[in-house]
């Protein structure tokens, strides 16, 4: 089911076999008992009710419901040990810690890159580097791939892109002497104009109209606000057909959805690691560049000594000889404590596979969607496959809740974005008082992300039934 299965069909089968009610606590418990990844929850520190701001219920020592992994992932239990091991090594060995186990510091970036390759679908280490932060990496990659001319100078991002992406892109345009009012194109819904989703037809229509003036298309792999998963392979192929580079911000995609960046032909991508990769707030980020660009040493780049050939790095010469691949964009040696925090989480990922995680995610989020629609009497989310005028918010039934995330499971990750008619702060405060942690996006949206590594079906049931008690 990892590549677009039908969780609704799976749920219907389970309901028929068990004869349990969709909204029953017993169904959630049954689903948890059948979850083959349930052991992974013990690999994380689960926040307790008593520690949640505003909590005023009973059972203070029980686990809270944390549905905010799309903003900050939970801390792996092993992280503390991994970090303390490096502090102890520093205390005992000083500079020799660069070469001593566990996790020698000198190659720690390469160690992390090797472990993340299967998660992002890189072919080899030449395509992946662990370095910097997401916005820094986006700037570095745009230096290489955004080379505007008088004819081809536009960058496309999606409407409601994460603000930092827009800031980075607009500043790159200004730095090259162009005006963002003319050169920054924000792609929104076209024929499906009242919807929250962007269809492939919307993207194709824009490129057919303006493709000759577009230099780079740089979109979120998963749209941070709506939770829509874009078809990165089709977008990349479309970009290349129109002479554009295809780049993606994978902050909300990496560790959340299947990624095959090499096979899809993506030119470049970057991501943070503190959401679904659970590396801790502000953790080290990553970057991808397709191997077809690996030996194009004429690509402009901002250079630093960690991007220099390691065989000559310590010769301290003036001659910069870039490594082949994205590693040539490294500026400095990776911060060790951030790197081992990421490695602690990647060790948990190595206990399963992205296919297994995505299979659970499809069922978990499908269960969330079904419960919300059933208990709150609302429609499923908009369709990315709807024809012009077929699926608009004006034609959907009125409800206290509107789902903004696509209904098609293969066009979303684990997140559902919910728009409320009730004041969203009131809803969030009630949820918090019951030990339920969600993400509020004012004025009226709550983003909910049941993460398959550590969330349960009972978490989802507790969230939706609490929500129903507030709204119904």
Q: What is the Cα–Cα distance from 429 to 9, expressed in whole angstroms?
A: 34
Strand-strand pairing, 154-158 and 214-220? parallel
Task: Please write the tens of the pLDDT for every residue from 74-110.
Answer: 999 999 999 999 999 999 999 999 999 999 999 999 9
Task: Output the pTM of the full model.
Answer: 0.95
Identify the helix (H) or strand (E) that includes residue 402: strand 401-403
Question: 120: Cβ–Cβ under 8 A, 6 or more apart, which residues?
Answer: 128, 250, 254, 259, 261, 269, 271, 286, 288
pLDDT of residue 103: 96
Across 137-173, b (16+ Cβ under 10 Å) vs e yields bbbbbbbbbbebeeebbbbbbbebbbeebbebbbebb
Considering only CA atoms, give the Rg of the chain. 23
Task: Please write the tens of the pLDDT for every residue from 272-282.
Answer: 999 999 999 99
Strand-strand pairing, 401-403 and 445-448? unpaired
pLDDT of residue 386: 65
Which strands, in side-by-side order, build the sheet including 184-187? 128-130, 286-289, 268-271, 245-249, 214-220, 154-158, 184-187
Closest CA to 427 of 438, 415, 414: 438
pLDDT profile of the chain (472 residues), mean per 10: 66 95 97 98 97 90 97 98 98 97 96 98 97 98 98 96 97 98 93 74 96 98 97 98 98 98 98 98 98 96 93 88 96 97 98 97 97 93 71 58 96 97 92 96 96 98 96 86
Nearest 5°: the CA angle 165, 166, 168 is 65
pLDDT of residue 393: 44
Instruction: Evaluate whether 57 touches 434 at the Cβ level (below 8 Å).
Output: yes
How far lies 225's CA from each of 72, 101, 300, 302, 317, in Å?
A: 15, 41, 33, 31, 47
Q: What is the Cα–Cα distance from 308 to 330, expressed in whole angstroms?
A: 8
pLDDT of residue 112: 98
Closest CA to 437 of 50, 12, 64: 64
pLDDT of residue 64: 97
pLDDT of residue 194: 56
Q: What is the Cα–Cα distance from 136 to 127, expressed in whole angstroms?
A: 17
- The beta-carbon contacts of 95-104 under 8 Å, at least 24 apart in sequence, are 103/336, 103/339, 103/340, 103/343
pLDDT of residue 57: 83
């Amino acid at each position: 089911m990892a590549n677009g299965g039908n969780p609704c069909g799976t749920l219907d089968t389970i309901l028929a076999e068990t004869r349990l009610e969709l909204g029953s606590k017993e169904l959630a418990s049954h689903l948890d008992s059948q979850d083959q990844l349930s052991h992974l929850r013990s690999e994380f520190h689960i926040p307790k009710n008593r520690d949640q701001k505003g909590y005023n219920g009973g059972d203070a020592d029980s686990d809270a419901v944390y549905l905010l992994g799309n903003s900050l992932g939970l801390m792996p239990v092993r992280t503390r040990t991994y970090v303390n091991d490096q502090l102890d090594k520093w205390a005992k060995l000083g500079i020799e810690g660069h070469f001593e186990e566990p996790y020698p510091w000198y190659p720690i970036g390469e160690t992390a890159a090797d472990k993340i390759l299967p998660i992002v679908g890189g072919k080899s280490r030449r395509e992946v580097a662990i370095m910097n932060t997401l916005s820094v990496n986006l700037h570095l990659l745009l230096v290489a791939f955004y080379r505007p001319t008088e004819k081809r100078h536009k960058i496309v991002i999606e409407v409601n892109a994460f603000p930092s992406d827009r800031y980075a892109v607009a500043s790159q345009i200004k730095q090259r002497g162009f005006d963002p009012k003319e050169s920054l194109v924000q792609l929104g819904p076209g024929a499906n104009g009242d919807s929250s989703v962007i269809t492939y037809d919307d993207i194709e229509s824009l490129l057919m109209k303006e493709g000759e003036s577009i230099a780079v298309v740089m979109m979120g792999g998963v749209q941070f606000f709506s939770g829509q998963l874009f078809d990165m392979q089709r977008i990349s192929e479309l970009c290349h057909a129109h002479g554009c580079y295809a780049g993606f911000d994978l902050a909300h995609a990496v560790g959340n959805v299947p990624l095959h960046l090499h096979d899809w032909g993506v030119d470049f991508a970057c991501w943070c690691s503190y959401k679904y990769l659970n590396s801790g707030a502000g953790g080290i980020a990553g970057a991808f560049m397709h191997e077809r660009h690996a030996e194009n040493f004429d690509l402009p780049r901002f250079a630093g000594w960690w991007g220099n050939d390691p065989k000559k790095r310590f010769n301290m010469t003036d001659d910069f000889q870039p490594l082949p691949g994205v590693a040539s964009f490294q500026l400095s040696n990776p911060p060790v404590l951030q790197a081992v925090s990421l490695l602690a989480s990647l060790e948990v990922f190595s206990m399963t596979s992205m296919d297994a995680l995505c299979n659970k995610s499809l069922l978990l989020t499908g269960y969330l969607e079904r419960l919300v629609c059933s208990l709150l009497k609302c429609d499923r989310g908009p369709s990315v496959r709807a024809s012009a005028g077929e699926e608009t918010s004006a034609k959907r039934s009125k409800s206290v809740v509107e789902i903004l995330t696509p209904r098609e499971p293969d066009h979303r990750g684990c997140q559902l974005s919910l728009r409320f008619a009730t004041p969203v702060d009131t809803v969030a405060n009630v949820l918090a008082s019951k030990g339920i942690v969600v993400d509020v996006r004012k004025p009226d949206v709550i983003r909910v992300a049941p993460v398959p590594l550590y969330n349960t079906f009972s978490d989802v049931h507790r969230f939706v039934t609490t929500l129903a008690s507030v709204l119904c």
